[in-house]
Amino acid sequence: MTSIFFRSIKFLIGAGFVFVLLLALLGSITGLINEPPKQTAEQALHKHPKELELASNGPLGKFDTGQLQRGFKVYKEVCATCHSLHMISFRNLKDLGYSDAQVKKIAKEWAIKQPVFDEKAGTWGERDNLPSDRFPKVYYAGTGNPPDLSLITKARHDGAAYVHSLLTGYGEKPDPAVAAKFPEAMKTPEGMHFNPYFANLNIAMPPPLVSDDQVKYDDGTRATIDQMAKDVSAFLVWTAEPTLQKRHQAGLAVVIFLLFATGLAYGAYLTVWRGMKH
């Protein structure tokens, strides 16, 4: 009798616990239905990145080396002052079509040098970059360091499309009807810049691309703001995954091999079982 009594008590306690949880769940669902959460200013004013067509898109995509060289020039002349590219070595630029002599020249003339510690003097010095060196880190004199761009298209949702939209989105204004609902959000703090593609709408980085022909392309391509943003986005896809094209080629070869092997296996199956009765 005692054991039956205790089992009954445990059952009632468990049932009561489940009942309380169900009541709490029902209350939460009812609350969400009756009073849905209010839309925040960031949710209302934030824009989804615009689609960006690049040669590297898709499972069969491959790099456009001409575009990558243009994108590198934009990075060098516009972005490199504040943003590092520390996961890439100068010699990796050979994959973009640069010769050994050109890579050596680019490394030597790079504005930021390699830090060197003199053990005898106990002080830091500098030396010219070598092709084997990684791009030196940038130490910004302001509050904090801007992010390294080596993996930015992997670290941000929508990758290259996000970078392109962010670079070209400084002049875009939200729908006036939507903006009128959130007047406080439209007051850009001092030292910040409104950009609807940035997560919290205000970004410390001023517009890096301010006018057409800010960079002069060697191949004669017109350097509009949109073109420069597109080219540097393509370049940053390459820095994030330099082996993307080789991976695509290897994947295609594997698929073709598997299809061929499947055909051989099916042919062998028909040959072995031909004439056999079940």
48 annotated as a binding-site residue: no
Give the residue among 63, 82, 203 at the shortest CA–CA distance from 142: 82
Tokens representing 158 are 């929508």
86 annotated as a binding-site residue: no
Q: What is the CA radius of gyration of the chain?
A: 29
46 annotated as a binding-site residue: no
Dihedral of CA 223/229/230/232: which sign?
positive
79 annotated as a binding-site residue: yes
Rounded Cα gap, residues 142 and 270, in angstroms:
73
Strands 114-118 and 123-127: antiparallel
DSSP-assigned beta bridge partners for residue 193: 203
DSSP for 9-33, please give it.
HHHHHHHHHHHHHHHHHHHHHHHHH
Phi and psi torsions of 152, nearest 5°: -60, -35
Alpha helices, H only, the chain? 2-34, 41-45, 65-74, 100-109, 152-155, 159-168, 176-181, 225-240, 244-273
Rounded Cα gap, residues 207 and 167, in angstroms:
7
List binding-site positions for heme c. Answer: 79, 82-83, 205
List binding-site positions. Answer: 79, 82-83, 205
